[in-house]
């Protein structure tokens, strides 16, 4: 899953550095993720994993790092399998 997140981060994140060079627990906003790019990334993630982010996940914390994004996706996809 993280590979896909990194790929989407590279496609939508508009980061000044290569997405793959960012540690999975590093702060994406400090790495240059803007709120505009964060929304584009969210749309890409929804499409990729066929999920919809509920309102409670639409905050800065959910998208603060690759790990945080992975936790959200894991929660949403686990809900779907159940």
Q: Which residues bind other proteins (CB under 8 A)?
A: 15-16, 29-36, 39-40, 42-43, 53, 55-56, 58-61
- Chain centroid to CA 79: 18
Return the residue matching tokens 């000044």: 16
Q: Which two tokens stand for residue 75?
A: 């929660």
Q: How far is the CB of 30 from other proteins (least distance, A)?
A: 5
* Burial of residue 26, with CB atoms counted within 10 A of its CB: 0-12 exposed, 13-18 middle, 19 or more buried: middle
- Using the Cα atoms of residue 34, residue 39, residue 43 and residue 46 in order, give the sign of their dihedral: positive
Nearer to other proteins, 46 or 67 (CB): 46
């Amino acid at each position: 899953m993280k590979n896909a997140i990194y790929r989407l981060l590279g496609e939508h994140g508009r980061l000044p550095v290569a997405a793959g060079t960012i540690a999975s627990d590093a702060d994406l906003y400090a790495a240059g993720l803007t709120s505009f790019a964060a929304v584009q990334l969210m749309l890409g993630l929804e499409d990729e994993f066929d999920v919809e982010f509920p309102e409670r996940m639409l905050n800065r914390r959910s998208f603060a790092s690759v790990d945080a994004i992975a936790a959200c996706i894991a929660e949403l996809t686990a809900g779907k399998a159940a």
